[in-house]
Amino acid sequence: MATYKQLLAEKEKIEAQLAEVRATEVAGVIEQIQTLMAQYGLSVDDIVKRRRGRPAGSGAGSKREPLPPKYQNPKTGETWSGRGRAPAWLGKNRDKFLIPES
């Protein structure tokens, strides 16, 4: 039975062989891709998968200004804009906490 150190040495040899074989195969694959791209007149933009939806930086996920408060707790002065989870102090009758529009 092989010892732990012997197995580790074998593992290192195999990992080195894997890296070498992968590098040669990747070089061949890249060469094939370049040949096919030239043969069919393709560019990188033709190959890259296009995403659907809004383009990056169009406002999705960007910071927005906070909304003005719509409701206020008269006891504590806490406010809520009406978006997101409603605070517990609001209860079921929201009308009595509504801030009058100025």
Rg of the chain taking only CA atoms, in angstroms? 32
Q: Is residue 52 part of a domain?
A: no
| Cα gap 77→89, rounded to integer Å | 11
Q: Is residue 72 part of a domain?
A: yes
pLDDT (mean) for 92-102: 85
Query: Within this chain, do residues 12 and 41 fall inside the same structural domain, yes or no?
Result: yes
* Token digits of residue 31: 């060469």
Query: Within this chain, do residues 43 and 76 fall inside the same structural domain, yes or no?
Result: no
Which residue range is the domain that position 14 belongs to? 4-47
Q: pTM value?
A: 0.42
Query: How many domains is the chain partitioned into structurally?
Result: 2
What are the tens digits of pLDDT across the range 18-67?
999 999 999 999 999 999 999 999 988 888 876 676 666 666 556 778 88
Q: Is residue 54 part of a domain?
A: no
Q: Is residue 56 part of a domain?
A: no
Q: Is residue 89 part of a domain?
A: yes
Query: Within this chain, do residues 15 and 43 fall inside the same structural domain, yes or no?
Result: yes
* Token digits of residue 5: 């150190």
